[in-house]
Every structure is written in C-alpha cells, then in structure tokens.
Structure 1
C-alpha cells in the first residue's frame, strides 16, 4: 500500500519509537535482520527484536524465507510506503469539531482534518479487508492573496458556492443514497524557518 492508517494505540506507539521508525523506512526494500543491522550500523540482536515487535503490530510482514546452509534467513518488508496515525489511536483525547465550530478558527480546521484522517482511515481499513476501492475526491490548490480583504472575499464566495452545490445535490429521501462529507479548508502555507541572519532582533517589536 502507498499509505497505511494506524488505528491501534499499541501500533502507534511502536511506530513512534525512533529505532523502529528507522527500520520501517529502511524496509521500503525487503531486508533481513542481518542486512538491516549492517546497513544501519546496529546490533543484529536488537534489530531482530524490533522487527518482531513491528511484525506483531502489522507494520512489517514476512516477504520470504531463505535457506543458507542450516540457517533460515527471514526477509521482511514494510506493509506500506508510509504511515498515518489516526486520531482513533488517541480516542479519549482526539479533537471533536462539533465542540466549538468556528469557520475562522485554525484549531477547528485542525479538528476537521483530524476527523477526516480518522474517517478516511477507517474506510481504507475496511476497503482493504473487502478488497474494494474507496470512493473519494480531493482538490489541492495554492492561491496567493494580495490582501486580507481578498482572502475574506474568496472565503465568502467559496462558502456560497459549496452551499449552493450541497443544496442542489443533497437528497435526504434517496433510498439507495450514501452520505458523504465535504470538507474545504483554507490556510496559509508555513514559511521555512528563517536563517539566523533573517531572524528579527530582540529590539524589534
């Protein structure tokens, strides 16, 4: 898989361990404990222990077994190219967008994003078990506003357009209908960290 969603707290904890994260990255290409130990400069026994933990949580899987004389070498691979930890792994403290909806709040936008990760992750997990595809759609665009007034006007027009589309296509009475969620977000792209020469001095306000 391109992306796997981690929903179990124990699996999330395993993936966040620095050593295991290095092993997951290295297992983009299959490798054995001996191969990984040599590649990463780590003791083989330690690598083998962490591989077993990753396998136990479904983050790596056995790719093949190779016989070398009287020894069997186990070759592993990561179950995905990348991983996303679902807020479901922190269910008791995961953000809830319904608590304080505010279209102008960055924290509410973050809560919406967390809910989307959780819901789409759940769909992907179920679809993988059923060997089906998930019906989805996404738009990713960049826009540079000349002023805050232009940004506000853009947000107002976008809100009106989405509301009109939802009103046109929403059918509460459709017997075979399926409910979908539409999330549209707008946020500034973070700047790269400034160099020491560019950083403001302590005298600047």
Structure 2
C-alpha cells in the first residue's frame, strides 16, 4: 500500500522531460524541486498540527486528485500561507471522514490566489461570523455587527483606512467566500455559505498569514 508521505514526495517526478533546453531545464527543475520540498513540508506539518497520522488517510482517487491540485499550486509558486490553507482544508475533511475532491478543488481555486491582505480580511470576517447561525438574512443587525467587528480588526492589523478595507472586501467577492448586501451606507460584506463551510474546515485565523 502506498503511504501518503511517499506519494507526496513522488509527485515531483512528473517534472522531468520539460520542453526546454538542457540549461534552462536544469534551472527549472531546481526551482520545482525546491517548491515540491516546501509543499511536502507544509502538507505533512499541517497533518501533524491536526493530529492526523499519515496512516489514517487512504491514498485513493479522491486523495490523489487533491494532492495533484495542491502540488500544482506549489509548482505555480503559491505562497506558503496559501499552501497551509489548502493543506488544512484537506486535514479538516479527513478529520470528519469526508475527503471530497470536487469540494477541495473548488476551495483550492479560491485559496491559492489569495493575497496576504485578502487572507487577513477573510480570516477576520469568517471569525466574526462564526457566531451567526447558517441562513443569511439581509439587513439583519447581527450581520452588520459582525461586519463592523471584522472591519475594525482588519483595519488595525493592516494599518489601512475604511476605503482600503472595502476594496479588499470587494476583491474577495471573486472567491465566493463573501457576499455583499445592500441597504447600508458604504456596503456590508458577510460570510457566504461557501465561506462558512471553509470556516468549519479550517481555523483560518490561527494561520500565520505573514509566512
């Protein structure tokens, strides 16, 4: 039976046979090896943090699809914080015995492109909305209060004004993790069902977003 750490380490073998000259291929392969080593380190570190032994995870079609997507993000140069977020999604799924490649791929597409500032704003939003039950109600005062709490926290952490904060909220709309609701001066952004699902799988606020 193939063990998870072995599989993660072997994925990099697919980097051979690159369509470049010998000198360029050597440089590219060197970069890929470094990124693959970092990816493996991050993935296994997050499994340890989540008290998830590698032997606990079966390497099947779902797991392979997830690891290939994780590896692609690493090869494309995703920041370590983004890789940690993706790895924690996998750990969260494994802990509840629900490893689903389709869901992971959807979340990974949004997580892999997050800039640091967006990750901070998202983390604070999801943390503030954890106390609100599922089922979004427009113009609900609880949504407004949670948004104000997240806004103040992020503005202090990032040393930005309200205009800058709202611009980052607006850019997060592309991820599907947040929604914008109307009827308030300046607009209010709230956690979407997809964002709340992410919050159930990952304690995003606990991740070192400066890494």
TM-score by length of 1: 0.24
Q: Which structure has the highest helix share of the two?
A: 2
Report the structure number with the largest CA radius of gyration: 1
Structure that is richer in strand per residue? 1
